[in-house]
Structure 1
């Protein structure tokens, strides 16, 4: 009996093994509930690409890069934000994850002949690859997304020269302009609500593509002035063939649903109920003081007034330190040699002020959990997880107009510089709900057009609030605005690039070291040598900029 039971179990198992051994292993491993890359609908991939790219961009422009260009400073956990203490491990993995999804998006769109989707994919490819080379310099490009389809050259791809990457970005945007040139009704497969930027509007995507072309032509204006001039003039001269973003309603933006940490405005005080991340970010004194000089109405949209202004009263008795009518009254002996800002309305945190920035302006509770009543907090709108002004902004009408104003000042055929400058200012004021102040603002000393690139770039820097990455790239290219590193900064000048991460230097050693060898070591590279945030990439080598 025992033998019969044993055999009755063994024979069916053997039979099952023989049957399955005749089948293709890949057939056995198919997930009946999954969708393979070869059959995925492009509309299922598109939202991930758009949302991840937008979140990555706003996280740069509202976080550490906002610290570099002195839009904001932090009063705790501040060394990366304020002092450029980035270390050597800035990762581009997230950007390449977006690009891998985008490659699938593009290939499936080609297979299905979805030309709208192809155009969108090329715009996003250009945006993300452009950002990678802007941040790091040379980077994997030609073979970066081929993975295991070839040999070692795809698994450990070479770093393409920065000049070549920019050329590829421009070529893809040109192709996107053509693909996106038809009326919406002529396209197949558009699903409006998966397009979180433009709701499936090909015309707006086309304008985004050509506006990015302007951005990258201007990026090359010092190294390749002939190419930049010809490219910008071609776009301006052929408005029907190259429509661009000219009104703030056409800005490439993404709103935040605000349901969770993954889809909410960064550093809000809703998902982070403690509010600590919101509380740490302060307006930088550099920006506050420029806005005050210009009587800029955007200041009140971006910042709160100080809760308790300081008043240093030279007639007060020694030892005076008291609150009177909502102000903190101090005698001169209580202040001693401390740096104080007694502005009764807005006080910014100076850039890289000290190793303990929370102590600024005689804060009575310095430290990680401080609440400084003598420095302006960001406006309360930035506590929210979502809101009408809480958007990732990838490129804007204001930026486009300022690019054309700068091009015109170079003597290029890009329109009237004054008109473009004023249109840029107006677009930014409208974006931040203070467009009604335009007439009064534009005629003020310091704002009325003075025919200088410095003024154009300063206004462009102001307009890039929460999208400060582009301001950094402008500073690197031109030296404007004339930003200075603070006393606690890691170097005496602002950085000009990100570090190649250690994993890349270790795993893709030969190619990474080749890229590092092409960086220009400067007086500020110091112990980091080639792979330094102060070593110059091709784009600024030989330009004398920004320092």
Structure 2
């Protein structure tokens, strides 16, 4: 990761193609926005927000959804299903951070306090995500172009404890900067803020809700800090407002005017539809939802086009389509594992090197079209839509955080009420809020006082934003997800690899970070740079395995 003193400003393309903000050029003396020491902060802000939103949904709707068994792929599947990962680059995140650093510098120079606060929230979000994914990482020296007059191309890595403390300090500072009424700020242009439309209160709630996430994240390693931090925020709602309703979620919509501005894996800009077609809901999630008659299942998945029916009364050799069903005699199935559910069928996690063959699919292979497994809902074919949003943090997640904190006895809030509000807000998010009274009354959904139940509902609610569920799983081991037989290891991974480029270009610092990883029984032999080597955050916790 080369961290030079050049400013990489990519915001012009995003500004013209992602959102129409015709009045911005009037705010800046240089209408082209290429002069970094004079650029208006409003020209940088859209790039920081949109690129972060896209990066986050690409994780939570991509391979991390495979890790936590929200989805599986039936073609080009080894990375998604089996954790067959090579090096994962953090370069894109640091590119956003460089733009964000310029946003902050220009906001300070122009005395735009709103933009300063927003920049600090995004800095915390991105650096927090980087250390969550990789472990130790460049932080203190990451965005410094030169040190002592020399170009900074080999920054030292900070340990996770330092980064998490920095994240929380940035969020505290952001909370103070964002605490004034909107009219007291300079430079706010509503339509360049694609999350909250220029609302300082929305950003303040985002900052404090993100702080709750990170206090809980570090709770196993720094329990006193976590407890006092959560208590501080909950103890003063005026000073520390948080997201409590789904209408306050930190989300980004997709205009869908080009593939770059569209929901990922859509069919509108993929004529073959293969990216959409490869993604199936995992049986782990399908079965959890079915057991609870969860109304979100029909919002997220289509019913199988042709259910399988195995009938022992049929003559041997029977395999035919009748009235939209595929009728089979037992000898045509043999010992093969199949799913005859007449409505929803998910792919088992990492069950085979050829997942496209599942459930007697007549068209196995990379161009599979399996009529016996549930495709995702047709809304996910589209480039844009009211439910297609990058969700950075939600009211549902906040309430589940508070339910866990209350269950631990850290706050005086009622764990049952917080748990129920988490579910209700998730149902409202997906347009089935009217089903809440019936849903919450069911056995298995009605609050039973266990952490396992809170974590399962939090896992369900993180659909399309599964990254947080992976981090929760590492911290708690819940839900008790099991790797499939074709997975690269018999347990779920816990981190991303450092890239080979990082090892080549910044060897001494990367090797120092690797030495601090804990080799486990699942790490590759004599190789600490493994997705199964534990970073500081979970060392000594006994979690998740």
Partners in 2 of 1:192 and 1:150 — Cα distance? 40
Partners in 2 of 1:45 and 1:504 — Cα distance? 28
User: What's 2:73 paired with?
Assistant: 74
Choose which of 322, 325, 328 in structure 2 pairs with 1:327. 325
Q: Is the 8 A contact 1:476 1:496 kept in 2?
A: yes
Deviation, structure 1 residue 273: 1.4
Report the secondary structure of 1:398's partner residue. Answer: helix
Q: Is the 8 A contact 1:314 1:331 kept in 2?
A: yes
Q: Is the 8 A contact 1:460 1:471 kept in 2?
A: yes
Partners in 2 of 1:34 and 1:449 — Cα distance? 54
Partners in 2 of 1:527 and 1:196 — Cα distance? 46
Report the secondary structure of 1:535's partner residue. Answer: coil
Report the secondary structure of 2:399's partner residue. Answer: helix
Partners in 2 of 1:521 and 1:482 — Cα distance? 22
Deviation, structure 1 residue 413: 1.1
Q: Is the 8 A contact 1:143 1:153 kept in 2?
A: no
Q: Is the 8 A contact 1:321 1:334 kept in 2?
A: yes
Within a 5 Å distance, the mapping from 1:209-248 to structure 2 comes to 209-248=207-246
Cα 1:152–1:531 shift into 2, 3 Å: farther
Q: Is the 8 A contact 1:407 1:414 kept in 2?
A: no
Report the secondary structure of 2:172's partner residue. Answer: helix
Report the secondary structure of 1:311's partner residue. Answer: strand
Deviation, structure 1 residue 334: 0.3
Q: Is the 8 A contact 1:477 1:545 kept in 2?
A: yes
Cα 1:44–1:32 shift into 2, 3 Å: closer
Choose which of 477, 480, 497 in structure 2 pairs with 1:479. 477
Instruction: Tell me whether 1:35 sits opposite 2:34 in the alignment.
Output: yes
Give unmatched runs, 5+ long, in structure 2: 1-29
Deviation, structure 1 residue 155: 2.3
User: What's 1:529 paired with?
Assistant: 527
Q: Is the 8 A contact 1:270 1:385 kept in 2?
A: yes
Choose which of 396, 399, 404 in structure 1 pairs with 2:397. 399
Deviation, structure 1 residue 34: 6.0
Report the secondary structure of 1:155's partner residue. Answer: coil
Instruction: Tell me whether 1:84 sits opposite 2:80 in the alignment.
Output: no
Instruction: Tell me whether 1:539 sits opposite 2:534 in the alignment.
Output: no
Partners in 2 of 1:33 and 1:396 — Cα distance? 36
Instruction: Tell me whether 1:426 sits opposite 2:405 in the alignment.
Output: no
Within a 5 Å distance, the mapping from 1:452-491 to structure 2 comes to 452-491=450-489
Choose which of 142, 149, 169 in structure 2 pairs with 1:171. 169
User: What's 1:53 paired with?
Assistant: 52
Q: Is the 8 A contact 1:404 1:414 kept in 2?
A: no
Cα 1:382–1:436 shift into 2, 3 Å: same
Report the secondary structure of 2:152's partner residue. Answer: helix
Cα 1:297–1:167 shift into 2, 3 Å: same
Q: Is the 8 A contact 1:232 1:414 kept in 2?
A: no
Deviation, structure 1 residue 246: 0.1
Deviation, structure 1 residue 545: 0.2
Q: Deviations over 1:124-164 (max 9, x none)?
A: 00000000000000000000001235455832110000010
Choose which of 295, 298, 313 in structure 2 pairs with 1:297. 295
Instruction: Tell me whether 1:260 sits opposite 2:222 in the alignment.
Output: no
User: What's 1:17 paired with?
Assistant: none
Structure in which a larger fraction of residues adopt helix: 1
| TM-score for the superposition, normalised by structure 1 | 0.93
Partners in 2 of 1:39 and 1:155 — Cα distance? 26
Partners in 2 of 1:528 and 1:220 — Cα distance? 29
Q: Deviations over 1:404-434 (max 9, x none)?
A: 0000111111510000000000000000000
Q: How many residues align?
A: 516
User: What's 2:118 paired with?
Assistant: 120
Q: Is the 8 A contact 1:405 1:414 kept in 2?
A: no
| TM-score for the superposition, normalised by structure 2 | 0.94
Instruction: Tell me whether 1:383 sits opposite 2:352 in the alignment.
Output: no
Partners in 2 of 1:201 and 1:126 — Cα distance? 19
Deviation, structure 1 residue 528: 6.5
Q: Deviations over 1:241-280 (max 9, x none)?
A: 1000000000000000101111000000000011000000
Q: Is the 8 A contact 2:145 2:151 kept in 1?
A: no
Deviation, structure 1 residue 35: 3.1
Deviation, structure 1 residue 337: 0.8
Report the secondary structure of 1:438's partner residue. Answer: helix
Partners in 2 of 1:345 and 1:456 — Cα distance? 27
Partners in 2 of 1:247 and 1:74 — Cα distance? 33
Q: Is the 8 A contact 2:134 2:498 kept in 1?
A: yes
Report the secondary structure of 1:43's partner residue. Answer: helix
Q: Deviations over 1:371-412 (max 9, x none)?
A: 000000000000000000000000000000000000011111
User: What's 2:7 paired with?
Assistant: none
User: What's 1:285 paired with?
Assistant: 283
